[in-house]
Chain A
Amino acid sequence: MHFEYNVKSGDFSNAGSASSQIKKVLKQLNVDSVTIKRIVVALYEAEVNVVAHSFGGTIFADVTAEEIILVLKDTGPGIPDITKAMQEGFSTASPQVREMGFGAGMGLPNIKKNADKLEIRSEVGVGTEVKIMVKLS
């Protein structure tokens, strides 16, 4: 199964809607609840990153019996130093975003903790591609 969702820059009020729809799909497929929770945490964080940091992007979700692959592709400033971005507590979020309770530098570590595989490719001034893989069986 293949799904695509558009994510708008700065649209915090809809952040999490793709995660919510994927959650419904996985529940219908009888994926166990522990796995669903891991996927939802990882996808939500990645979705919020696109809203908070990029100029907009798309989520591509591919579900098979064995795994779910989530690819979040955005256009935007990119990540100059991915190793630094992966560090817990490091954030480049704006003060407004931090006031909402985001930007604590926990997003990417949360994704890594919950994914079986995480790949990040980024080009400064072009955009970022985050690929999250979680095994379903």
Chain B
Amino acid sequence: MKVEEIVKALDLRVFSGEKGLSNEINNGYVSDLLSDVMGSAEAGSTWITLQTHKNVMAIASLKELSAIILVKGFKPEDDTATQSNEENIPVLGTDKQAFEIAGELFNLLKK
């Protein structure tokens, strides 16, 4: 499934990294601990988190994640959005909390 498809299906905001909307998503990972994501997230995953600072992009890039979903109405910091545009890894947003959006994404990817 492509990032743009989950944007539509889950009604997500696109903050940055529009060029990466055609990235393929094959899994998801939920965590706010950066070392946990670094150690365990799979390439091609969407990362659901409330962390908004630039290090999130460093991890997403190094781990080759497909997109980031910020929960509970959080917005990316300016330098996060800039790096997202450079790396073509979209930063998306939702007002929902992590449990809800993870459940919806899980069901969507399971289909």
A residues lining the B interface (CB < 8 Å): 12-13, 15-17, 19-20, 23, 37, 40-41, 44-45, 48, 100-102, 104, 106-107, 110, 113
Q: A110 contacts B35, CB within 8 Å?
A: yes
Complex Cα spacing A107 to B39, Å = 9
The SS class assigned to the B binding surface is helix
Inter-chain pairs besides A15-B58, A45-B35, 9 sampled, C-beta below 8 Å: A13-B55, A17-B58, A40-B63, A41-B62, A44-B62, A48-B55, A104-B35, A110-B35, A113-B39
Whether B36 and A100, one on each chain, are in contact in the complex, defined by CB atoms closer than 8 angstroms, is no
Query: Which of chain A's residues have a CB closer than 8 A to the CB of B53?
Result: 12-13, 100
Which parts of B44-58 form the interface with A (CB within 8 Å)?
49, 51, 53-55, 58
A106 adjacent to B35 (CB under 8 Å): yes
Chain B residues with CB under 8 Å of chain A are: 32-36, 38-39, 43, 49, 51, 53-55, 58-59, 61-63, 79
Q: Which residue of chain B has the shortest Cβ distance to A91 in the bound complex? A: B35
A-B contact pairs, 26 of them (CB 8 A): A12-B53, A12-B55, A13-B53, A15-B55, A15-B58, A16-B55, A16-B58, A17-B58, A19-B62, A20-B58, A40-B63, A44-B58, A45-B35, A48-B34, A48-B55, A100-B34, A100-B51, A100-B55, A101-B33, A101-B49, A101-B51, A104-B33, A106-B39, A107-B35, A110-B35, A110-B38
Task: From B43, B53, B62, name the one whose CB has the most chain A CB atoms within 10 angstroms.
Answer: B62
Quick check: B62 and A20 within 8 Å, CB to CB? yes
Q: A16-B59, A20-B62, A40-B62 are in contact. Are A45 and B51 (CB under 8 A)?
A: no
Residues of A within 8 A of B33 (CB): 101, 104, 106
Closest to A110 in B: B39
The 6 closest A-B pairs by CB, nearest first: A16-B58, A106-B35, A101-B34, A104-B33, A110-B39, A101-B51
Q: Chain A interface mostly helix, strand, loop or mixed?
A: helix
CA distance A114 to B67 in the complex (A): 24
Question: Nearest chain-B residue to A47 (Cβ)?
Answer: B58
Residues in A whose Cβ lies below 8 Å from that of B43: 37
Interfacial chain B residues near A17, Cβ < 8 Å: 58
Q: Does the CB pair A16–B62 fall under 8 Å? A: yes
Q: How far is the CB of A105 from chain B (nearest CB, A)?
A: 8
